[in-house]
Structure 1
Amino acid sequence: MKENLKNSISNYFSNGPKVVMIFMLVLMSATLVISATRKTVTVSIDGKEINITTFRRTFKTALEANDIAVGPKDKTTPSLDTRVNKKDKIYIKRAVNVEVAVDGKDLNIQTAEDNIEKMLDAERIDVADYDKVVPSVKEPITEGLKVSVTRVEAKMIKETKTLDYATVIKNDDNSEKGNTKVLQDGEQGEKVVATRVIYENGKEISRQVVNETVTKQPVQKVVAVGTLSSYTPSRGSTKILYNKSMRVKATAYSAGYEDTGKNPGDPGYERTATGTIAKRNPNGYSTIAVDPSVIPLGTKLYVEGYGYAIAEDTGGAIKGNIIDVYFSAGSQVNNWGVRWVNIYFVR
């Protein structure tokens, strides 16, 4: 027994340096392993940097081990699944709260995007070319930012509208004043009007006519309006229509020698200046002599107290506003004498 104990002690002390050596090697290996897996990483959160020490393989587990939470809308560069190496750096941008009014809804959104345009893309909020975004889509994202998206829609509307016809007035020189006659009925035309209508969030805010195409021309209405005045010689007589009147001094003559210096059978007897035979026709037009510079030859008149007449003759004493009415007998000439009368220019 004593011999065995003695041998054991002897063996221990003889192998002691070897055990110590092995222990030291194990300790050095562990130290090297720890040193190799221990990493210092810089974490930048919204521009503020901290250093952490980690033995973890990925940024996700490294951050969790150091109680650094990353929200679902926070952005990291590189990604959380990236393998961690010594002296690596990870950037974390915290999501902020943004209010977005769109399509009749008020959305509370968390986002870590750089500007409004990127946020809308990330949230899958489509913005058409004409839609309005306030503030501008390039506006940086900040905490509490309020964004409104106004839906703008342009529609082209085509309408058929009537075109009013014009009324043309024409003088009717054969009708009394106040009388009208429709010579041609008017007819409305048509046109197609193209209008651009702008809506914001479904509400009309403006409209502008961009084109008008006449598809049917209107037909003008033509109305004849009388221009003649009227005169009624006496009660029950036929109304006389005229376009002009004049007050003149009226004398009378016949074809006899005392008025013309000619007797029956003489050349030019009863002939007027226009070559016609002087006549007195109570039921038609009688001959009168006029000053052609005042009343053109061939003019038809109504002579007050005498009747219808036509300017066919002239006379040496007939100058200015003087007429000479013709009678077939000298006694009638004497009965007429000289008087002031109204004459009416008839058609």
Structure 2
Amino acid sequence: MKLISKLSGPKQKLITSGIGVFVLILFSSFVMYEATKAKVVFAEDGEELTINTHKDTVGELLNELGVDVGEHDLLSHQMDALIQSGMTIDYVAAKDVTMTIDGKEKEYSTTADTIGAFFEENNLMFTEDDELSHKTSSKVEDGLHIDITTAFEVEIQNGNDKTTVMTTGGTVKEIINKADVSFDQDSNDKITPNLSEEVEKGEAIDIVRVTEEEKVVEETIDFDTETKEDSSLPKGEEKVITEGKNGLVTKTYMVTKENGDEVDRELIDEVVEDSVAKVVAVGTKEPKAQQASSNHTNHSSQKSSGSSGKTLTMKASAFTASCSGCSGVTATGINLSSNPNMKIIAVDPSVIPLGTKVHVEGYGEAIAGDTGGNIVGNRIDVHVPSRSDAYAWGVRTVKVTILD
């Protein structure tokens, strides 16, 4: 009791005052210590944390916070930058991204927010024809795996036309549809490879357009010429009894074309219209003048008519042995078909005997070697090589001089 009593005197008051002073000094020091701390904002991935610190550098502060800055992380300040009150330190941790392009895998680290930004960051460019597993607007998450299949060009030979289409693959049918090339599976078109086959890079598609159409072809059958002897006609004279008519073969074909070119022709129908032969009567009757000569009658009359040097004015037409149905052989047996340039005239034997050598104005020297149904009196027919020559001669009046 005495000890307590002693302590409760003036000495006790002195101790109590000393403790108060110590506490005050301690509190003041703490306040001063806290007051000297720098106030810093640390922002990580958009989340902010306000920190009061006595650390001198950014590196020391991050170490205090347990933040390990990696090679690909994004930090707004250098690690040795001095801490200043009121500063904001931005930090973005890099995310690991795995990207597989056409089966080839590669690892990336990025601080990009979106896949599109990640592509720009790594100079990666893709087209709208490429196939991406994610949209470019998608957010990049740590551990993201992006699969990309790049498009390749496929050439399509469409008949005689050519087109190309970009694709990441698929069947022939799918790629043809993508290229907006029309086709009918029920048609005869040939498509290589088959519609169900997968198209590989570097492979082309060939479409052969096959069409079938009927085609009618007409072929002429030339008529034959038949001759019949006729004793009622003067020798060498011809008369058409029946006009000839060409026959006709009508053939119908099924024509197959590939890309417009014919590759096959099949006969599916044939109709034949027979020809009709031309019948010509050939006279065998001997001329009266020739008969008289052979019987030695009217000898003086013939000699007078065929007297050498006598000149007659006569109407002259022209004929040719190259006409259709003509035999080409004269009444005296001269083959004009074999001698187209021979100078022969057809005469009325009662005026100019057959075999007489004459000179025809505008024609030259000739032999009276033929007769004709229309050659009567002062009328002759000069032989020329062709039908055009006959037309050119026409009908004219000429002087005919008897040479022998």
TM-score (norm 2): 0.35
- TM-score normalised to the size of structure 1? 0.39
